Amino acid sequence: MKDTRLVKILVEEKSLVKLLKTIGRGREYATRELLTKLGAYGYGHKLLLKAQKRGLVERKTVKNKVFNKLTSDGKKIVMIAKEIGV
């Protein structure tokens, strides 16, 4: 049941998948660094908050920076996207 939710996100939210693939599997990104890499500040930040709300990205604050890291569901979506070539 949970995997169908992930596949639905994969099909309907192409830009969210791009964000997750940018974060990658093993690394944490500071929000500004991530948004610079994406090239989309306003829209990219909204996507990041959407991913957090759906449980795909974990965000934690260290000093004055917010770091973003994929959760296990986020890693599954990246893995499925690579398998099917999205």
pTM confidence score = 0.83
Is the predicted pLDDT of residue 50 greater than 80, yes or no?
Answer: yes
State the fold for domain 2-84. Arc Repressor Mutant, subunit A (1.10.10)
| Structure tokens that stand for 37 in this block | 């890499």
* Burial track 30-50 (b if 16+ CB lie within 10 A, e otherwise): ebeebbeebeeeeebeebbee
Query: Span 44-63, mean pLDDT?
Result: 91
Average pLDDT of span 4-29: 82
Would you kindly state where each structural domain of the chain is located, as residue ranges?
Answer: 2-84
- Cβ count within 10 A of residue 14: 12
